[in-house]
Structure 1
Amino acid sequence: MNTKNPLLSRGIESELYLCSPMQVTRRYFLELSYKGTPFHGWQIQQNAFTVQECLEKGLSTFFRQPIAIMGSGRTDTGVHASMQVCHFDLVDQIPSENFLKGINAILPKEIAIHSIRLVKPDAHARFDAKNRSYFYRIIFQKNPFLDDLAWLIFHNPDIEKMNQAAKILLGHEDFECFSKVHTEVNHFRCKIYSAHWEQKDGQLLFHITANRFLRGMVRAIVGTLMEIGLGTRSIESMEELILSKDRTKAGKAAPAKGLFLCNINYPTTIYLD
């Protein structure tokens, strides 16, 4: 039967869910975006403001039961997501057509939920992802509207050299040299499917897609490629760097504010709606 629950903190009343006479647990995928500037990354941590914490509090308030979420992956402090996916389990409730309006009213302005989809009970936002994509934005002129969303540089790099060096990434799978040290991973292997730079609307964008990414990997790659583009590192050094597996030999990590998680690809068979 239909029930109405008030969103007490916002004074909003909407139909939240349909109750079932027998307890049923359903799994849902949420697609969302967020501006990472005010957050200390995705993952919950003590004494820090994180995206995961905000989402879990908002969902728990909305559904009036504890909700834990699992993201497709972690983003670091200051990194953004134009597309992120997480899953959560909901006991004995079905989100109503007013869910998106209600949950977005609860969440801070830096987070937006775009869709919710019912998936198979064993579907997993992290482990079922076939590949993930990021882009990195660089601007060459001061822009107050992009100050938190791009890396401002004042020199024009050689994009052709940067793209030649980026192609070298596709021929390797061990990227320990681009990983933050002291990370809890079993291996440093990643399959990079594409990596290239493009100029668009006065901006320089780096696009990269892989089956997985290591902590700090994209920012380290961008920083290294920028050194090649500015002439302080050779194209040939990229091969040597990857084979060295030594993070200290890679370039300085590019600023977090220019990085966006922008796509996660899943098999269509996991969806039930």
Structure 2
Amino acid sequence: MRYFIELSYFGKAYHGWQNQPNSISVQEVLEENLSKVLRKSAEIVGAGRTDAGVHAKQMFAHFDHNEVLDEALLKYKLNSMLPKDIAIADIFKVREDAHARFDAISRSYEYHIVQEKDAFEQDFAWLLRQKIDLKKMNEAASILKAYTNFKCFSRSRTDVKTYNCRIEQAEWKKEDNKLVFHITADRFLRNMVRAIVGTLIEIGQNKYPVSQMHKIIESEDRGEAGASVPAHGLYLTRIIYPENIRLK
């Protein structure tokens, strides 16, 4: 039987989601504690990767178990054992062929920026003091939706078969004391969102015209895009699956 886990985590203490040889990851901590509760080795498959220091307001993973589980009890036990920076929101049974990564229809991220020092946001948003033109940044962000090949925003050493992604939303919003970038796509490349934000920031600082975004994307060259922004301002916020994936 296959089960989905819905969770969230604060990424500061972890070297990303995926297991690493010499660094602690969210996946490692979750697998260790799930194995203790189930009293057998448990392997989990995540909906995707997040880099070191990146947070997740919503993440999904699946695991297999040959017995019917009390999902509410399992959730309670896991939350009791896990560190305070990882929280389980739900555990539910899914179709046998359901896959946390490959069945995801869309994923959404946010990037948070503050422009004045805030003692309570230092681990949750990037402090950027320079003035930026939000209107220009949104004009450049809208260009993203006209393209599908985003090799220019991908980490150079990666094993993906395609650089194609379908971006549905890309826009900046002023929310209270923050500037928040919202982006949704069917899939993302490694480091893609942070590279996009870095590029938009440079356009917002008038280093390049809005039209430069076309040239950057069409170059398919990571060296043409802006520098990646710091990880601690990035959040995986939502993952959408087909409605029939969950068993009643």
Q: TM-score range by the shorter chain?
A: over 0.9
Task: Give 1 or 2: higher helix fraction.
Answer: 2
**Partner of 2:56 in structure 1?**
81
Task: Give 1 or 2: higher strand fraction.
Answer: 1
**Partner of 2:116 in structure 1?**
141
TM-score (norm 2): 0.98
Of 167, 172, 179 in structure 1, the residue corresponding to residue 154 of structure 2 is 179
- CA drift of 1:97 comes to 3.0
Q: What are the equivalent positions in structure 2 for 1:48-197 lying under 5 Å apart?
A: 48-197=23-172
SS of the equivalent of 1:123 reads coil
**Partner of 1:17 in structure 2?**
none
- CA drift of 1:98 comes to 2.2
Q: Deviations over 1:211-230 (max 9, x none)?
A: 00000000000000000111
- CA drift of 1:181 comes to 0.5
Q: How many residues align?
A: 248
Any unmatched runs of 5+ in structure 1? Answer: 1-25
Q: After alignment, is 153-162 or 209-218 more displaced?
A: 153-162
| Aligned AA (1:90) | H
SS of the equivalent of 2:72 reads coil
Give the Cα separation in 2 of the matches to 1:122 and 1:58.
24
Q: CA RMSD in A?
A: 0.8
Any unmatched runs of 5+ in structure 2? Answer: none
Give the Cα separation in 2 of the matches to 1:82 and 1:141.
24
- CA drift of 1:96 comes to 4.8
Once the two structures are aligned, what percentage of the paired residues are identical? Answer: 49
Give the Cα separation in 2 of the matches to 1:67 and 1:93.
15
**Partner of 1:12 in structure 2?**
none
TM-score (norm 1): 0.89
Does structure 1 retain, via aligned residues, the 8 Å contact 2:72–2:91?
Answer: no
**Partner of 1:211 in structure 2?**
186
Of 242, 248, 272 in structure 1, the residue corresponding to residue 223 of structure 2 is 248
**Partner of 1:9 in structure 2?**
none
Give the Cα separation in 1 of the matches to 2:68 and 2:30.
18
- CA drift of 1:150 comes to 0.6
**Partner of 1:239 in structure 2?**
214
Q: Deviations over 1:70-93 (max 9, x none)?
A: 011000000000000001111224
Give the Cα separation in 1 of the matches to 2:153 and 2:200.
12
